[in-house]
Amino acid sequence: MIESAEYTNSTRRPIQSPVNAIAQIWNTQIIVIRYTNKYFEPHLD
Q: 1-45, pLDDT tens digit by residue?
A: 555 555 555 555 555 688 888 888 999 999 888 888 877 766 655
Query: Does 32 reside within a domain?
Result: yes
- Report which DSSP code applies to 6: H
Q: Please report whether residue 41 resides in a domain.
A: yes
pLDDT, position 11: 57
pLDDT at 8: 56
The boundaries of the domain holding residue 27 are 18-45
Tell me if 38 is assigned to some domain.
yes
pLDDT at 36: 84
Q: How far is CA 33 from CA 24, 28, 44, 45, in A?
A: 14, 9, 15, 15
What pLDDT sits at residue 39? 76
Q: Is residue 9 part of a domain?
A: no
| Rg, the chain, Cα only | 18
- Total domains in the fold of the chain: 1
